[in-house]
């Protein structure tokens, strides 16, 4: 069984909501970069004017960290919509699969409070949940009443694709109906310093942040037939030990995905890659020196780490809205993380493009 993307939401450096992301991507102008506290890392592209209490209200947000707030808000754009599936008596309860590694800042702050306090146990217990990797996914499910499967997938820049594959497998196994999946990442001083001192990313990388969430339905369901935006044809992943292995391993992933789709490289008309040089080498090997059309996200919103691949998927969906000729054709999304994970996904935009849903404004 294949899965179908039927809706999406985004909170990005372009602003709050799907329409802000569409507008920014179509303009092709990088989001504004702001000065940061980690001066040696340089500027970053941040979600403008995002505050948990402003967006979500005062109740329950006193100890909520930024990555959790971004996730709760982005999931709410879909799960909180009036026509969202999952009402009592309408089938399995919706679930959530979120790609993230949690908040480095929360973990470091909590650890520091244990070391700085008069006693190691003089810490704020309300802030301990923020140090757990699945805090964002768990609290998003509680906040929006998602009682189906709930999972957190770590994988760096490939996390969005790994989450998509996990969600697809849940649906294929009959363990879930509607699923929300995607990725979320926050900018923080702690993340910036870790990036600067040992992430393996090239110098000059501009960090970003945000959340991108998809609503996924099993193919053949009434919602998939009515609201289908793109079919998830295949998702493949791999690991590498040395950067020199990336082109060959990523190329193997792409070829396996094409084999599952019974397709050839010439059938791919759009690619949404990350920004790594080995990734580009793999695409050159796959397509030759005349690759298909390309949609770029990282160059516009910055390196959003765990949310990067999910934003690349959104880039494909926005391009499909603008170009009806992509309907029924194949698009390839690739992602490589510096810590050894990589993957790709084949998407097939649907022939019908539903009217976009306007997101709420905080």
pLDDT of residue 352: 56
The model carries a pTM of 0.92
Same fold for the pair 3-225 and 233-349? yes
- Please name the residues in contact with 311: beta carbons below 8 A apart, sequence gap of 6 or more: 10, 12, 160, 183, 210, 212, 297, 298, 301, 304
Q: Give yes or no for residue 280 having a pLDDT over 70.
A: yes
What percentage of the chain reaches a pLDDT higher than 70?
A: 92
Query: Which range scores top for mean pLDDT: 22-26, 84-88, 205-209, 296-300?
Result: 22-26
From 40-44, 54-58, 256-260, 357-361, the region with the lowest mean pLDDT? 357-361
Query: Between residues 89 and 220, which one has the greater pLDDT?
Result: 220
From 8-17, 269-278, 318-327, 352-361, the region with the lowest mean pLDDT? 352-361
What's the rounded Cα separation, in Å, for the pair 65 and 129? 10
Q: Give yes or no for residue 275 having a pLDDT over 70.
A: yes
From 79-88, 288-297, 313-322, the region with the lowest mean pLDDT? 79-88
**Helix/strand/coil (H, E, C) string of the chain?**
CCEEEEEEEEEECCEECHHHHHHHHHHCCCCCCECCCCHHHCCEECCCCCCHHHHHCCCCCCCCCHHHHHHHHHHHHHHCCCCCCCCCCCCCCCEEEEECCCCHHHHHHHHHHHHHCCCCCCCCHHHHHHHCCCHHHHHHHHHHCCCCCEEEECCHHHHHHHHHHHHHHHHHCCCCCCEEEEEEECCCHHHHHHHHHHCCCCCCCCEECEEEEEEEEECCCHHHHHHCCEEEEEEEEEECCCHHHHHHHHHHHHHHHHHHCCCCHHHEEEEECCCCHHHHHHHHHHHCCCCCEECCCHHHHCECHHHHHHHHHHHHHHHHHHCHHHCCCEEEEEEECCCCEEEEEEEEECCCCCCCCCCCCC
Residues 208-216 have a mean pLDDT of 97
Please report which confidence band the pLDDT of residue 202 belongs to, taking 50, 70 and 90 as the band edges.
low
Domain boundaries defined on the chain: 3-225, 233-349
Please report which confidence band the pLDDT of residue 347 belongs to, taking 50, 70 and 90 as the band edges.
very high
pLDDT of residue 353: 45
Q: Give yes or no for residue 86 having a pLDDT over 70.
A: no
Residues 342-355 have a mean pLDDT of 81
Please report which confidence band the pLDDT of residue 358 belongs to, taking 50, 70 and 90 as the band edges.
very low
What fold, for 3-225? Peroxisomal Thiolase; Chain A, domain 1 (3.40.47)
What's the rounded Cα separation, in Å, for the pair 326 and 311? 19
What's the rounded Cα separation, in Å, for the pair 143 and 145? 6
From 31-40, 55-64, 262-271, the region with the lowest mean pLDDT? 31-40
**Interval 145-199: pLDDT, tens:** 999 999 999 999 999 999 999 999 999 999 999 999 999 999 988 888 888 777 5
pLDDT of residue 354: 45
Q: Give yes or no for residue 90 having a pLDDT over 90.
A: no
Please report which confidence band the pLDDT of residue 356 belongs to, taking 50, 70 and 90 as the band edges.
very low
Domain 233-349 class? Answer: alpha beta
**Interval 115-146: pLDDT, tens:** 887 788 777 787 788 888 899 999 999 999 99
Q: What is the mean pLDDT of the chain?
A: 89
């Amino acid at each position: 069984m294949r899965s179908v993307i039927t809706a999406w939401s985004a909170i990005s450096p372009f602003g709050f909501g799907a329409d802000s992301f569409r507008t920014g991507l179509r303009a092709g102008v990088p989001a504004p970069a702001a000065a940061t506290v980690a001066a040696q890392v340089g500027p970053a592209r941040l979600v403008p004017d995002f505050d948990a209490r402003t967006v979500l209200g005062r109740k329950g947000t006193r100890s909520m960290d930024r990555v959790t707030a971004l996730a709760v808000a982005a999931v709410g754009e879909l799960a909180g919509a009036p026509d969202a599936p999952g009402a009592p008596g309408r089938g399995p309860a919706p679930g959530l699969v979120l790609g993230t590694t949690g908040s480095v800042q929360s973990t470091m702050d909590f650890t520091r409070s244990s070391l700085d306090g008069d006693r190691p146990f003089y810490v704020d217990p309300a802030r301990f949940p923020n140090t757990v990797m699945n805090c964002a996914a768990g609290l998003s499910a509680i906040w929006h009443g998602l009682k189906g499967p709930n999972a957190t997938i770590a994988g760096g820049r490939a996390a969005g694709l790994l989450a998509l594959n996990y969600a697809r497998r849940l649906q294929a196994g009959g363990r879930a109906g509607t699923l929300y999946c995607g990725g979320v990442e926050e900018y923080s001083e702690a993340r910036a310093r870790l990036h600067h001192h040992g992430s393996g990313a090239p110098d000059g990388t501009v960090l970003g942040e945000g959340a991108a969430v998809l609503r996924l339905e099993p193919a053949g369901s009434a919602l998939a037939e009515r609201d289908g935006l793109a079919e998830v044809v295949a998702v493949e992943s791999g690991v590498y030990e040395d950067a020199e292995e990336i082109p060959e391993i990523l190329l193997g992933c792409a070829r396996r995905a094409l084999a599952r789709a019974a397709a050839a490289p010439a059938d791919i008309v759009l690619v949404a890659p990350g920004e790594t040089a080995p990734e580009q080498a793999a695409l050159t090997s796959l397509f030759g020196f005349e690759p298909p059309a390309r949609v770029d996200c990282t160059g516009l919103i910055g390196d959003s780490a765990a949310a990067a691949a999910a934003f690349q998927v959104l880039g494909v969906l926005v391009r499909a809205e603008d170009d009806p000729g992509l309907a029924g054709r194949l698009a390839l999304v690739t992602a490589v993380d510096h810590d050894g994970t990589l993957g790709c996904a084949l998407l097939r935009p649907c022939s019908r493009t539903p009217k976009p849903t306007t997101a709420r404004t905080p």
